């Protein structure tokens, strides 16, 4: 019988048993052997057990925990979905940054050639080109880093990958300098 009884709500002991305290064995209760907490006494064994097994506060707390847990799952699922969308956008931005870099590099090559052919004197173009090339290289490195991170990113992990976020911010920042 005691296997079916719930653990003691006060000390958690599973050493609980049904007993009766009067000589005529009229009033029954369930008692914890460890802390001696007892259920409300009842005239019948089944009533005493029912009293012991009934845990309205515990049950309502359990229900509340369950509902909070399911809310948390919904919240996390939404977060992961939002993150996935954001990462997809990040991938597009990084891809686009690399594509734009190739175009810009080609244009710079042509520009440099023409400049060298027609303007032997230094008009400061060299410095401008050097700085543009440096920016292009920076964007490309960040974009490649972001793409690598995106490839190894585990969508099932909750939380935001800040490295990707800062990478994207950096691409936008460096990209903004070129405009």
Binding residues vs Zn ion (CB under 5 A): 8, 10-11, 13, 32, 34-35, 37
Closest CB to Zn ion among 35 and 132?
35
Using DSSP's 3-state secondary structure scheme, residue 42 falls into strand
Closest CB to Zn ion among 10 and 155?
10
- Are residues 28 and 42 in contact, defined by beta-carbon separation less than 8 angstroms? yes
* Least spacing, CB of residue 34 vs Zn ion, in Å: 5
* Least spacing, CB of residue 3 vs Zn ion, in Å: 17
Cα separation, 108 vs 104, in Å, equals 6
Cα separation, 51 vs 5, in Å, equals 11
**What's the token pair of residue 22?**
């009067």
* Least spacing, CB of residue 6 vs Zn ion, in Å: 11
* Least spacing, CB of residue 63 vs Zn ion, in Å: 24
Closest CB to Zn ion among 28 and 140?
28
**What's the token pair of residue 114?**
């023409």
Using DSSP's 3-state secondary structure scheme, residue 38 falls into strand
- Are residues 87 and 167 in contact, defined by beta-carbon separation less than 8 angstroms? no
Closest CB to Zn ion among 17 and 106?
17
Which residues in the chain belong to E strands, given as ranges? 16-20, 28-32
Closest CB to Zn ion among 11 and 93?
11
* Least spacing, CB of residue 38 vs Zn ion, in Å: 10
- Are residues 52 and 39 in contact, defined by beta-carbon separation less than 8 angstroms? yes
């Amino acid at each position: 019988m005691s296997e079916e009884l719930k653990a003691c709500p006060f000390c958690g002991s599973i050493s609980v048993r049904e007993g009766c305290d009067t000589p005529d064995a009229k009033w029954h209760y369930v008692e914890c052997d460890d802390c001696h907490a007892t259920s409300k006494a009842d005239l019948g064994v089944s009533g005493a057990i029912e009293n012991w097994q009934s845990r309205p506060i515990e049950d309502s707390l359990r229900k509340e925990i369950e509902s909070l847990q399911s809310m948390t799952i919904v919240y996390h699922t939404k977060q992961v979905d939002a993150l996935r969308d954001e990462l997809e956008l990040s991938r597009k931005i990084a891809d686009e940054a690399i594509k734009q870099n190739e175009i810009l590099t080609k244009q710079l090559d042509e520009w440099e050639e023409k400049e060298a052919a027609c303007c032997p004197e230094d008009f400061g173009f060299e410095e401008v080109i050097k700085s543009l090339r440096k920016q292009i290289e920076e964007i490309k490195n960040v974009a490649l880093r972001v793409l690598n991170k995106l490839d190894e990113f585990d969508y099932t992990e909750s939380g935001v990958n800040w490295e990707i976020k800062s990478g994207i911010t950096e691409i936008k920042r460096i990209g903004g300098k070129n405009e």
